[in-house]
Amino acid sequence: MTSRKFMTVFAVVSAAALASGVCSTAAAQPLSLSLLQEQAVTQATSVADALGLASGGYYLENGKAVVNVVDDAGLAKVRAAGLAAKKVKHTFAALTGVKNDLDAVKNVPHTSWGIDTKTNQVVVTIFEGATTAAAKAVTEAAAKHGDSVRVERQAGKLEMHIQDGDRISNGSSICSLGFNVTRGGQPFLLTAGHCTNLGGTWSGGNVSGARIVESDCPGADSGLLTRPNGTGPGQINTGQVITRAANPVVGERIQKQGQTTGGGGGTVTSVNQTVNFDVGVLYHEFGTTAHTDHGDSGGPAYDGSTGLGTLSGGNSTTSYFYPLTLELQNYGLSLA
């Protein structure tokens, strides 16, 4: 039997699982929700774009879009388009400016900040692992922005979800593969950059001798491996086909896969997140409530047939992913 210790999205559902009907039944509800969410995001994006700088961004609530506005004229426009509207204080552009200002705070491991459109704030998270000095620096920087920033504290510390000592072909660590991709007609495998930074050749599933061709971390968190064993379908190992990539939205329900924790779901809690790990700063991540653990690094986050990102890490209650849209753009990739 082929080992699945190194998880890849092109693996297929086992015959036993298909016979029991477990996978097909479990996939039905997320797929239905994903279509609802996709339609809502398309409508909200169009309306928010029309509002321009007056937009406060948007989020999903029970699969339906809510568009934030800063004035009564915006309320009327959104409601005329048939969408729910909420009047807020801060524009999305203003929140982005606050988030970018906080990015100037350096050397503060175990902290993060990103935009929560649902509360119309930049949410700053200080994890228990942060030093007193780091927590003070972040808190003081956040205080300068008044009610546009919310500071939260979480137990534990931020960790890259990679596990040293587990046996794989490079003799060092174990991760999960995210998405099958192509470039110039050639097949490649997308995973986390902090995994490919370890070097070596990688094996798992029906792939062996996969070489590293791109590796970016910190800053980004993307890694690209050759696939010497030919092409394969762009699908999660549950059988869910991935046909497109899109940006995550606060409130969006997602699914994830990883070799350690397997499947499961969660909700997007923040976007454009700056996450300060011990190894350095990662930008443009999105935060979720999905549960992941060591060895899940690089595994996919997705919403039905839409790919969203690859796992970087987190703690026991928060998981951060690097956006698939940026990975495809930065490496000139297409989904397989």
Residue 218's Cβ-count burial label (10 Å; 0-12, 13-18, 19+) is: middle
Asked about 172 being catalytic, the answer comes back as: no
169 an active-site residue?
A: no
Would the CA dihedral through 264, 124, 284, 202 be positive or negative?
A: negative
What is the spatial distance between Cα 173 and Cα 135, in angstroms, rounded to a whole number? 31
Catalytic residue among 297, 303, 312, 319: 297
d(CA 297, CA 311): 5
Exactly one of 110, 161, 194, 284 is catalytic; name it: 194
> Of 112, 116, 161, 221, which is the active-site residue?
221
- Beta strand 159-160 with 163-164 is unpaired
Residue 157 to residues 121, 126, 287: CA-CA distances in angstroms?
Answer: 23, 9, 15
Q: Tokens standing for 286? A: 């999105």
Residue 5 identity: K
The answer to whether 290 and 260 have CB atoms below 8 angstroms apart is no
Residue in 314, 208, 121, 124 with CA at minimum distance from that of residue 301: 314
Supply φ then ψ for residue 321, to 5 degrees: -125, 150
Question: Which stretches does DSSP call E strand in 128-278?
Answer: 149-154, 159-160, 163-164, 173-174, 179-183, 186-191, 202-204, 207-210, 212-216, 222-226, 244-245, 253-256, 265-277
Q: 180: helix, coil or strand? A: strand
DSSP state of 254: E
Residue 221 bears catalytic tag: yes
Catalytic residues: 194, 221, 297
